[in-house]
């Protein structure tokens, strides 16, 4: 058995692992990143539709979900979007703001991965791919057994990501390792994921697949105003992906189909025609024609009185959408939940119980909203650990 010794081992060459290794390498640590896949950063390459939404200019702690909403603050404050943007600019990577502070590469996500690999090389970090980690043990130091090779270091950083997109190799490795060392896990569920119609909504709306409209969706004390998209199976689009991270089965999601508009206002004026055609024409001013017509077929006013119109108005702004479920990890961008933040130092990401063991990135119970926040968490938590190794 060949044994290789390092100052620190990082499991997983994704966004968080590479950033952590770079920061530690820059401080003179001898670091090896052990990656199971045949190449590093696969998720970076598919992110943001291939252009990687690498950060968000308006990053605030409120953009993250965690059992402890204060946990992420320290790391986020010590590695800000400006710091990552400075790195991107140093590498002369062209980028643009798409919307709502979301920064994307002009060319391709490969620019970000290439930048991280260049930084790794400059910091003397070894990135080893196709490493099949079989066992991790801890004696005087951590030992990572990978078949014919064994890697030893006093410090181990777990950056193996979450459960989303198993087709790309996501597994529960990080959670299993945490459990093995007695580190608690908060229940995991798919986040930033399309939602599936219940049988009744499926009958009414599935054939409208492709229709999209701006809505406000609300659930569990959170709301988002963005586009909603009808699909063959349910609802998607940024508004739905955002709220999906907060949705728990049995809660309906409130959908405001016509934000800021009073659809029945004209109908309630004396002398206005009060017919299904007139209300449809009002709703069609703010909601795509087919969705407006279909929605009114299922929510026809019970009468043409002002009271009944007010009730329809309320329903337009508070449509209770009760999904049957989500499209699961196969379609989820992230995993909500993970390594319990109570177990970790907010400053360094080190386990309180197991000195030398760190968790960074998506494997931790910190999940960003859609819009570059998940990468910002990966950079910030990776840097926090890397600077402490
Ligand atoms: C389709 C899609 C698009 C996305 N787009 C964006 C976006 O534009 N902006 C944004 O902010 N976020 C986006 N995300 C989310 C973002 O990709 C993740 O939050 C981020 O990659 C998490 O980084 P990480 O380093 O923690 O984990 P990962 O990037 O998942 O990296 C984990 C690495 O660990 C490796 N690994 C796993 N198990 C082992 C093991 N046993 N041994 C060794 N290595 C192992 C994996 O192969 C992987 O390389 C997107 C996600 C998806 C699925």
Q: In percent, how much of the chain has pLDDT > 70? A: 100
What pLDDT, on a 0 to 100 scale, did the predictor assign at position 59? 98
Q: Is the dihedral of CA 5, 11, 14, 16 positive or negative?
A: negative
**How far is it, in rounded angstroms, from Cα 133 to Cα 150?**
9
Look at residues 239, 236, 194 and name the one whose alpha carbon lies nearest to residue 217: 239
Ligand 1 center to 10 CA (angstroms): 14
Averaged pLDDT score across all residues of the chain: 97
The sheet carrying 212-219 orders its strands as: 319-321, 253-256, 212-219, 222-230, 234-236, 195-196, 325-326
Which residues line the pocket of ligand 1, CB cutoff 6 A? 11-17, 34-37, 42-43, 46-48, 52-53, 133, 159-161, 164-165, 169, 171, 173, 333-334, 361-362, 372-375, 378
Q: What is the pLDDT of residues 265-310, one digit of tens each?
A: 999 998 889 999 999 999 999 999 999 999 999 999 999 999 999 9
Q: Which ligand 1 atom sits closest to the C-alpha of 12?
A: 34
Q: If you take atom 51 of ligand 1, which residue's CA is the nearest one?
A: 333
Which residues does 277 contact at the CB level (< 8 Å), separation at least 6? none
SS3 (DSSP) at 124 = coil
Residues 362-388: tens digit of each pLDDT: 999 999 999 999 999 999 999 999 999
322 Cα to the center of ligand 1, angstroms: 30
In ligand 1, the atom with minimum distance to the C-alpha of 18 is 25
Percent with pLDDT over 90 in the chain: 95
Q: Residue 101 pLDDT > 90, yes or no?
A: yes
**Separation of CA 40 and ligand 1 centre (Å):** 10
Ligand 1 atom with the shortest distance to the CA of 104 = 8
Q: pTM for the whole thing?
A: 0.97
Mean pLDDT throughout 74-92?
98
Instruction: Compute, in angstroms, the gap from residue 193 CA to the centroid of ligand 1.
Output: 15
Q: Is the confidence at residue 1, as pLDDT, over 80?
A: no
- Give pLDDT, residue 244: 98
Nearest atom in ligand 1 to 173's CA: 41
């Amino acid at each position: 058995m060949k044994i290789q010794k390092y100052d620190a081992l990082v499991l997983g060459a994704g966004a968080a692992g590479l950033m952590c290794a770079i920061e530690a390498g820059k401080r003179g640590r001898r670091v090896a990143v052990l990656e199971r896949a045949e190449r590093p950063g696969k998720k970076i390459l598919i992110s943001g539709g291939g252009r990687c939404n690498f950060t968000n200019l308006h990053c605030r702690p409120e953009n993250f979900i965690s059992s402890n909403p204060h946990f992420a603050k320290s790391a986020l404050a010590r590695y800000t979007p400006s710091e990552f943007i400075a790195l991107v600019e140093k590498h002369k990577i062209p980028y643009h703001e798409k919307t709502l502070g979301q920064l994307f590469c002009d060319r391709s996500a490969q620019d970000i991965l290439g930048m991280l690999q260049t930084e790794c090389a400059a910091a003397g970090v070894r990135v080893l791919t196709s490493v099949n980690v079989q066992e991790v043990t801890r004696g005087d130091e951590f030992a990572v057994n990978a078949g014919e090779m064994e890697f030893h270091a006093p410090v181990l950083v777990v950056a193996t990501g979450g459960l989303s997109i198993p087709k790309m190799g996501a597994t529960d490795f990080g959670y299993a390792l945490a459990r093995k060392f007695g580190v608690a896990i908060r229940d995991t569920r798919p986040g930033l994921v399309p939602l599936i119609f219940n049988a009744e909504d499926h009958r009414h709306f599935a054939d409208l697949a492709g229709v999209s409209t701006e809505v406000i969706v609300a659930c569990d004390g959170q709301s988002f105003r963005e586009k909603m998209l009808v699909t063959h199976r349910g609802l998607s689009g940024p508004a739905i992906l955002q709220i999906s991270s907060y949705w728990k089965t049995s809660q309906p999601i409130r959908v405001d189909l016509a934000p800021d508009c009073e659809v029945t206002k004209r109908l309630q004026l004396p002398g206005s025609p009060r017919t299904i055609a007139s209300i449809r024409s009002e709703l069609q001013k703010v909601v795509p024609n087919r969705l407006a017509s279909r929605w009114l077929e299922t929510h026809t006013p019970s009468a043409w009185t002002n009271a009944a119109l007010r009730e329809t108005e309320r329903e337009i702004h508070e449509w209770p959408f009760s999904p049957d479920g989500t499209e699961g990890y196969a379609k989820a961008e992230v995993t909500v939940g993970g390594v319990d933040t109570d177990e970790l130092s907010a400053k360094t990401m080190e386990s309180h119980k197991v000195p030398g063991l760190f968790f960074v990135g998506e494997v931790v119970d910190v999940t960003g909203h859609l819009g570059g926040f998940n990468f910002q968490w990966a950079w910030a938590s990776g840097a926090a650990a890397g600077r402490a190794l």
